[in-house]
Amino acid sequence: MSDDNIKVSIRHLYKIFGEDPEGVLDRVKDGMTKDELMAETNHVLGLNDINVDMREGEITVIMGLSGSGKSTLIRHLNRLIEPTAGEVLVDGEDILSWSESRLRRLRREAMSMVFQKFALLPHRTVLENAGMALATEGYKRDDYEAEARKWLDRVGLQGQDDQYPHQLSGGMQQRVGIARALASNSDIMLMDEAFSALDPLIRTDMQDLLLELQAELKKTIVFITHDLDEALKLADHLVILKDGAVVQQGEPQKILMNPSDPYIEDFVADINRARVLRVRSVMESTPPEGDCFGDVDVNDTLESVIARAEGAVDRQFRVLDGDKPVGTLTMVDLMRALVPRESSAAAA
């Protein structure tokens, strides 16, 4: 992919909270840690030299534990938080140089946001909440009703137009939030822990809905989560933060197969690798030798291949990308991929 596909680019972004952030910035650039900065200067290091490219039409997931800086980072993308230093480029333009009026247009027209706590107006109906972004642009109800209702129907809320938020379940309220973001017709959607307040089954349904909508709409989505299973399910590009810095980023499958740091190894240690890893991450890009037990797709999970193999460990499959043969997957390679890297090293 070329640089033409980069929708949002973060360059050398720092955020320090305290009385004199610019005065202590050089200490951070010289290597002072978050704990050291707090102990010596009473300043909090929020973000430390963040560099991330977010590609158009993809889901970039930013994850980390509480205090890692993920929510601070997403609020820099629409300048709800001002950085201490760095650049935030949207379509190649540094929004840190923009006027307040351009920023308001950015927030109204180019970026929508879905919040953890839904952020619906309790005195407005479902339809009015879904059309709120259009209403703030000056559209009358008669003008935005059809668009808002289209997206309410699309997220599964047909017939709920005249309900109020308190009459809906948490999952339904979040569907209104997603419909509101989609009705704004923005290219970029920011989702800050959007599903973390939901029960597990509802959360899974919302993840599936998001992936279904994304397959159709190809939005540029920035999704914040502390849940690795959710991150691995949703991400095209995964960014893992610790203490305000990027520890590792890349395609989720590659991170799972090749953690670059003990912190990442701890994160991925308890993941059900068979359910998460895809055939494309394990296969050999060579034609099969001898007979194959059958065909599998590059995006099939290893769990589904294990079921197909019926417990046998001496079988191999031809791998297809659509109708095109692209490689071979043996059960030996599959089983080897199920062992976390650090465990493999210990066994050796």
Cα 325 from Cα 72, distance rounded (Å): 44
pLDDT in tens, 6-45: 999 999 999 999 999 999 999 999 999 999 999 999 999 9
Exposure string for 258-289, b = 16+ CB within 10 A, e = fewer: ebeeeebeebbeeeebbebbbbbbbbeeeebe
In percent, how much of the chain has pLDDT > 90?
A: 54
Mean pLDDT of 159-168: 89
Tens digits of residue pLDDT in 59-95 = 999 998 888 999 999 999 999 999 999 999 999 999 9
Confidence of residue 172 (pLDDT cuts 50, 70, 90): confident
pLDDT score, position 310: 87
Residue 189, pLDDT above cutoff 60: yes
- Judged against a pLDDT cut of 80, whether residue 197 lies above it is answered with no
Please provide the average confidence, as pLDDT, over all residues in the chain.
Answer: 89
Identify the weakest region by mean pLDDT among 14-23, 106-115, 246-255, 317-326: 106-115
Task: Please give the pLDDT value at position 169.
Answer: 87
- The two tokens of residue 294 are 């059958």
Q: Is the pLDDT of residue 344 over 80?
A: no
Q: SS3 letters for the chain?
A: CCHHHEEEEEEEEEEEECCCHHHHHHHHHCCCCHHHHHHHHCCEEEEEEEEEEEECCCEEEEECCCCCCHHHHHCCCCCCCCCCEEEEEECCEEHHHCCHHHHHHHHHHHEEEECCCCCCCCCCCHHHHHCHHHHHCCCCHHHHHHHHHHHHHHCCCCCCCCCCHHHCCHHHHHHHHHHHHHHCCCCEEEEECCCCCCCHHHHHHHHHHHHHHHHHHCCEEEEEECCHHHHHHHCCEEEEEECCEEEEEECHHHHHHCCCCHHHHHHHCCCCHHHHCEHHHCCECCCCCCCCCEEEECCCEHHHHHHHHCCCCCCEEEEEECCEEEEEEEHHHHHHHCCCHHHHHHHC
Name the pLDDT band for 346 (thresholds 50, 70, 90).
Answer: very low
> In terms of pLDDT, which residue wins out, 40 or 138?
40
**In the predicted model, what is the mean pLDDT of residues 282-293?**
89
Question: In 230-242, which positions are buried (b, 16+ CB within 10 angstroms) versus exposed (e)?
Answer: bbbbbbebbbbbb
Please give the pLDDT value at position 80: 92
63 touches 228 (CB < 8 A)? yes
Pick from 77, 100, 84: nearest CA to 47: 84
Q: What is the distance between the alpha carbons of residues 152 and 163, in angstroms, rounded to a whole number?
A: 12
Cα gap 323→288, rounded to integer Å: 16
pLDDT band at 347 (very low <50, low <70, confident <90, very high): very low
pTM recorded for the entire structure:
0.85
**pLDDT-derived band at 341, boundaries 50, 70, 90:** low
Instruction: Provide the pLDDT for residue 2.
Output: 47
pLDDT at residue 343 greater than cutoff 60: no
Distances (CA, A) of 129 to 119, 120, 154, 194, 221: 10, 6, 15, 17, 21
Beta-carbon contacts of 123 under 8 Å, excluding residues fewer than 6 positions away, are: 164
The answer on pLDDT for 209 being more than 70 is: yes
The pLDDT of residue 342 is 56
**Site of tokens 């939901």:** 198
pLDDT higher for 199 or 22? 22
For the chain, which domains are there? 55-78+98-268 (3.40.50.300), 273-347 (3.90.1280.20)
Indicate whether 345 pLDDT > 50: no
Residue 319 CA to residue 285 CA, distance in Å, equals 9
